[in-house]
């Protein structure tokens, strides 16, 4: 087989760039940052559009049943960890807080500043999905407290807060 094929030959047709794979044709797509009809192609030498393959991120589940503490936890010490979602429940009748930190180690609760604080309703739960993920550029860590303030160090009770996370690293 030869490369390139003509479509709709009854009306003159158009030539489509293809590559002969031996068992058929595979269409070739031109990537360019130039005017229509130009022959300036993308190349790997850096003077064209940069094209790179992105890794596939396979989400990982994480679960914690609270201990009688602030449960300072490092979920992932890997830079660029994506948080795709959570389901967090609270069996206490008072609100409890889950604080997320952009760090590669367990947080120092009351000293480190969280980047996200979730209020989990008393005798309730909260869940959300982030299809594109929230990027934690340093690492993903969290803690549980009884108060909303960043400086709060109030410990939750054992088995009071259940934290379920879906995350991935890349």
21 or 114, higher pLDDT: 114
pLDDT, position 18: 73
The residue among 71 and 18 whose pLDDT is bigger is 71
Tell whether the model's pLDDT for residue 21 goes beyond 60. Answer: yes
Name every residue whose Cβ is closer than 8 Å to that of residue 128 and which is 6 or more positions away in sequence: 85, 86
Alpha-carbon dihedral angle through residues 141, 147, 152, 153, given to the nearest 10 degrees: -70
Cut 0.75: pTM above it: no
What is the per-residue pLDDT across 25-71, written as a single tens digit (0 to 9) for each? 777 666 555 555 555 545 555 555 555 555 567 899 999 999 999 99
pLDDT tens-place string over residues 84-107: 999 999 999 999 999 999 999 999
Q: Return d(Cα 104, Cα 16) in angstroms, integer.
A: 50
C-alpha distances in angstroms, 42 versus 38, 46, 51, 65? 11, 9, 8, 52
- Whether 38 and 49 have beta carbons less than 8 Å apart is answered as no
Predicted pLDDT at 84 = 95
In the predicted model, is pLDDT for residue 138 greater than 90?
yes
Predicted confidence at residue 51, as pLDDT, reads 53
**CA distance readout (Å), 98 to 25, 58, 152:** 55, 24, 11
Nearest C-alpha neighbor of 71 from the set 140, 119, 139, 143: 143
* Portion of the chain with pLDDT greater than 70, in percent: 72
Q: Please give the Cα distance from 1 to 11 (Å, whole number).
A: 23
Q: What is the pLDDT of residues 120-137, one digit of tens each?
A: 999 999 999 999 999 999
- pLDDT in the model for residue 2: 64
C-beta atoms surrounding 106 within 10 Å: 19
């Amino acid at each position: 087989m030869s490369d390139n094929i003509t479509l709709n030959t009854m009306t003159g047709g158009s030539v489509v760039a293809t590559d002969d794979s031996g068992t058929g044709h595979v269409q070739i797509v031109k990537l360019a940052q130039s005017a229509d009809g130009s022959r300036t192609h993308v190349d790997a030498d850096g003077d064209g559009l940069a094209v790179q393959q992105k890794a596939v991120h396979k989400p990982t589940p994480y679960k914690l049943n609270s201990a009688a503490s602030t449960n300072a936890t490092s979920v992932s010490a890997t830079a660029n960890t994506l948080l795709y979602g959570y389901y967090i429940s609270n069996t206490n009748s008072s609100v409890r807080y889950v604080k997320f930190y952009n760090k590669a180690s367990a947080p120092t609760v009351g000293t480190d500043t969280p980047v996200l604080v979730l209020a989990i309703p008393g005798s309730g739960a909260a869940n959300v999905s982030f299809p594109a993920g929230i990027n934690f550029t340093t690492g993903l860590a969290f803690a549980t407290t009884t108060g909303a303030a960043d400086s709060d160090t109030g410990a939750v009770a054992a088995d009071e807060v259940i934290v379920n996370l879906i995350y991935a690293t890349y």
